[in-house]
Amino acid sequence: MCNDFVWDPTLEELRLRKNGTGSFSSESFCPSSTRLLVPKEAIADPVSIAKKRKQDELFTDPSKEDAGVILTNTVEAPCRASGIRGIFNMGATCYMNVILQSFVHNPLLRNFYLSDGHKSKKCGYDHCMSCAMDEMFQDFYAQESTNGYSASNILASFWLSKRKGYEELASNKEQDAHEFFQFLTEELHEINGDGKPPSQDENSSPKRLKTGNETACKCIVHQTFYGKLQSTITCQNCGDINTTVESFLDLSLGLDMLSKKKSLKVSNLSVQKCLDEEYKNPERCEYTCHACGTQEAKKQLSIKSLPNVLCIQLKASDNFLHSYSSG
């Protein structure tokens, strides 16, 4: 056994009864040498005492919330299978394997699948991608193993999927890992979420806040990967402001374009500098103000809400990579 446990009122009652009497029977008594002292009220009403203890634990010393204290006193989940484990390359599936490795080590996705978030036995989807993912998580975390894993069911579900826009990816050729990531998140959203088009979830404000592509879906994909991006266009003549908020799955940084800006140097690029340049500095844009008709405006992109897991796509051409490595 892994010594892990799940709190349950019935099991808690049996545990307290066992500790107090040495037996699961309330009429039995254990020898004095092995008897544990338990308050009478705990034996009389163990559930209430247990609930009270859980409530008391909520009001902890603020110093215990310090990141250093948490890191020092945190241990790995006992059910986690340890050891390095790879995924077999089935032809040219490196693009798929790198995404699956990032998914299988994501704690939010791990907890979802290991807690029966997707009920495979009751699933009615043909060639279900979420069932294949559930199988992978169970295999990775159910037992200690360093043998390679064959993601054949995931590859089969990928090839047999009828999702539009990804038909060309169903081949034995090398594909783009980012495109597979987008396919996988869309597929898992449709299966585990409502699978409906995004709906607006914010009211408009005096600054004409538009909420395109907003969604209220609470599926595991949205809870893990989706954040909110805000675009603010300000008229340089009358000061009119037009703001739009939309959901995003990942951020894309075009390194070729960013490297051409005077504020950035190819030899000194970093993700932080690219993000600052893309989402902190306003730029002139083509926009006609509906208030005064002026076409002089500036656009400011900003991240309004970060997701639990931020995915960033770095787009670079071969020429850029060559100049970056040589510079």
One domain, residues 173 and 235 = no
Burial 131-166 (b: 16+ CB within 10 A, else e): bbbbbbbebbbeeeeeeebebebbbebbeebeeeeb
pLDDT of residue 189: 94
- pLDDT score for 213: 45
Structural domains of the chain, count: 3
Q: Do 34 and 107 lie in a common domain?
A: no
Q: Is 146 inside a domain boundary?
A: yes
Examine residue 268 and state whether it is found in any structural domain, yes or no: yes
Please indicate whether residue 242 or residue 267 has the higher confidence score (pLDDT): 242
Mean pLDDT of the chain: 75
Checking if the pLDDT of 216 tops 60, the result is yes
- Residue 15 domain flag: yes
Cα dist. 207→112, 280, 305 in Å?
39, 20, 19
Looking at the fold, whether 235 and 316 belong to one and the same domain comes out as yes
Q: Could you tell me the two tokens for 245?
A: 């908020």
| Number of H-type helices and E-type strands within the chain | 13, 6
Percentage of the chain modeled with pLDDT above 70: 63
Chain segment 241-254, per-residue pLDDT in tens: 999 999 999 998 88
pLDDT at 129: 94
Whether residue 205 has pLDDT greater than 60: no
Q: How confident is the model at residue 212 (pLDDT cuts 50, 70, 90)?
A: very low
Of residues 78 and 117, more confidence is placed in: 117
My answer on whether 156 and 249 are in the same domain is no
The stretch 116-125 carries a mean pLDDT of: 89
**Which residues span the domain enclosing 115?**
94-192
- With b for 16 or more beta-carbon neighbours within 10 A and e for fewer, the 76-90 pattern comes to eeeeeeeeebebeee
Per the listing, tokens 């597929």 go with: 187
Residue 199 maps to a domain: no
pLDDT given at position 49: 47
Q: CA 296 to CA 285: how far, in whole Å? A: 8
> Could you read off the pLDDT of 179-192 as tens digits, one per residue?
999 999 999 999 99
Do 32 and 118 have their domain in common?
no
Residue 230 pLDDT greater than 90, yes or no: yes
Overall average pLDDT of the 214-228 stretch: 86
**pLDDT for position 214:** 46
DSSP state of 142: S
Same domain, 188 and 231: no
**Over 80: is that where the pLDDT of 265 sits?**
no
pLDDT, tens digit (0-9, with 9 covering 90-100), for 286-303: 888 888 888 889 999 999
214 with 226: CB under 8 angstroms? no
Alpha helices in 146-261 (DSSP H): 152-160, 177-192, 220-225, 255-259
Which amino acid, 48? S
- Which residue among 148, 173, 192 closes a domain? 192
Q: Where does the pLDDT of residue 171 fall: very low under 50, low under 70, confident under 90, or very high at 90 and above?
A: confident
Residue type present at position 74: T
